[in-house]
Amino acid sequence: QQKVQQSPESLIVPEGAMTSLNCTFSDSASQYFAWYRQHSGKAPKALMSIFSNGEKEEGRFTIHLNKASLHFSLHIRDSQPSDSALYLCAVRTGGNYKPTFGKGTSLVVHP
Partner 1 sequence: GPKVLQIPSHQIIDMGQMVTLNCDPVSNHLYFYWYKQILGQQMEFLVNFYNGKVMEKSKLFKDQFSVERPDGSYFTLKIQPTALEDSAVYFCASRTGTGGAETLYFGSGTRLTVL
Interface residues with partner 1 (CB under 8 A) are 4, 32, 34, 36, 41-46, 49, 88, 90, 92, 96-104
* 8 Å CB contact between 100 and 6: no
CB atoms within 10 A of CB 20: 16
* Shortest distance, position 59 Cβ to partner 1, whole Å: 16
Q: Which is nearer to partner 1, 14 or 41 (CB)?
A: 41
CA distance 25 to 6: 9
Measured at the alpha carbon of residue 59, what is the angle toward residues 88 and 84, in degrees to the nearest 5? 40
Q: Which is nearer to partner 1, 11 or 17 (CB)?
A: 11
Core vs surface per residue 51-65: b (16+ CB within 10 A) or e: eeeeeeeeeebbbbb
Q: Which is nearer to partner 1, 17 or 50 (CB)?
A: 50
* Shortest distance, position 60 Cβ to partner 1, whole Å: 19
Q: Which is nearer to partner 1, 17 or 38 (CB)?
A: 38
Nearest to 35 by CA among 8, 75, 84, 66: 75
* Shortest distance, position 33 Cβ to partner 1, whole Å: 10
* Shortest distance, position 11 Cβ to partner 1, whole Å: 17
